[in-house]
Amino acid sequence: MASALIRGMIRAGVTTADLVSTSDPLASTRDELARETGITAAASNFAMVERSDVLVLAVKPQSMGQVLRELAAVVTPDHLVVSIAAGVSIATISDALGAGRRVVRVMPNTPALLGEGASAYALGPNATSDDAAVVQAFLDSVGRAVRVPESQLDAVTGLSGSGPAFVYMIIEALSDGGVRAGLPRDVATMLAAQTVLGSARMVLETNLHPGALKDQVTSPGGTTIAGLHALERAGVRGALIDAVQAAAHRSAELAAVAPQ
């Protein structure tokens, strides 16, 4: 996820490679990212803190405890700390880093790589309006971003954080449908992906309700209503609601198991 954000931000021109550093205990990971993007690889998290104003914590929730312990001695109120870890609360991060630390919690998603991310963020009690502006600009450069109360971030994680995987599965299944109906795989996958992309843009750019746009496609006694009936019989709406709810629930569970 960090790689997608770094590449997306440099691609958008909101920062330049010489202003970004990465640290990762896996030398191959940090060196490859540095080589491919032109950013600097730091030898340790400690070295990163010394040279940075904004620290983005992009490790697995299960690794956050260790990282926060490493950083506690060196992070000051002069740093803005941005966490993208699912399920790790602002209170957990603030408690580990010490009083007065400026913390923002973000839930991005991987299409940020292409400037099409969907992100939400919440401010910790010491984060300033300038910090909000920095994070908003950083996320706007890689897609759309919205500020929410922290209590909504598990729901965001279930919807847009995990959502790309749900959509990829839908695209793969639509492509299977095309193949089942006789199309070559490459044609089917292109048509499926472009149909999802175009439909998403229709929702965002016409501001019409998705149900109204659905009705525009659906002729009386036609092909679309036959397909919609099959989807309703299979419970697709319920399955997608369950998927988002399950992922949101898991995000809340990670809060309990994450940094110890």
Q: Looking at 155-163, 173-181, 185-193, 199-207, which segment touches ligand A1CAB (CB under 6 A)?
A: 155-163
CB of 29 to ligand A1CAB, least distance (A): 17
- Write each residue from 49 to 88 as x if it is in contact with ligand A1CAB (CB under 6 A), else as -, in one continuous string: -------------------------------------x--
Give backbone dihedrals phi and psi of 144, rounded to 5 degrees, phi first. -105, 145
Q: How would you label 108-137 residue by residue, b for 16+ Cβ within 10 Å and e otherwise? A: bbbbbbeebbbbbbbbbebbeeebeebbbe
Q: Is 60 marked as binding a ligand?
A: yes
Provide the token pair at 225.
Answer: 């209503």
Q: Is residue 23 within the footprint of ligand NAI (CB under 6 A)?
A: yes
Provide the token pair at 89.
Answer: 């609360």
**Whose CA is closest to 39, among 27, 28, 31, 51?**
31
- 143 binding partner (options ligand NAI, ligand A1CAB, none; Cβ < 5 to 8 Å by kind): none
Q: Looking at 24-32, 129-137, 201-209, 217-225, which segment touches ligand NAI (CB under 6 A)?
A: 24-32
Q: Looking at 2-10, 156-164, 196-204, 213-221, which segment touches ligand A1CAB (CB under 6 A)?
A: 156-164
Q: Cα–Cα distance between 100 and 131 in angstroms, integer?
A: 14
| Bridge pairing between strands 54-57 and 40-41 | unpaired
Rounded to the nearest 10 degrees, the angle between the axes of helix 236-257 and helix 163-180 is 150
Q: Cα–Cα distance between 47 and 44 in angstroms, integer?
A: 5
Determine contact, residues 56/84, Cβ cutoff 8 Å.
yes
Q: Is 207 marked as binding a ligand?
A: no
Write the CA distances from 111 to 2, 22, 142, integer angstroms: 12, 20, 8
CB of 178 to ligand NAI, least distance (A): 27
Q: Is 61 marked as binding a ligand?
A: yes
Q: Is residue 86 within the footprint of ligand NAI (CB under 6 A)?
A: yes
Q: Is 109 marked as binding a ligand?
A: no
Among 10, 58, 68, 81, binds ligand NAI (CB under 6 A): 58
Q: Which residues bind ligand NAI (CB under 6 A)?
A: 1-2, 23-26, 29, 45, 58-61, 63, 66-67, 84-86, 107-110, 161
Q: Residue ranges for the binding site for NADP(+)?
A: 58-61
Q: Which residues bind ligand A1CAB (CB under 6 A)?
A: 86, 157, 161-162
Q: Residue ranges for the binding site for NADPH?
A: 45
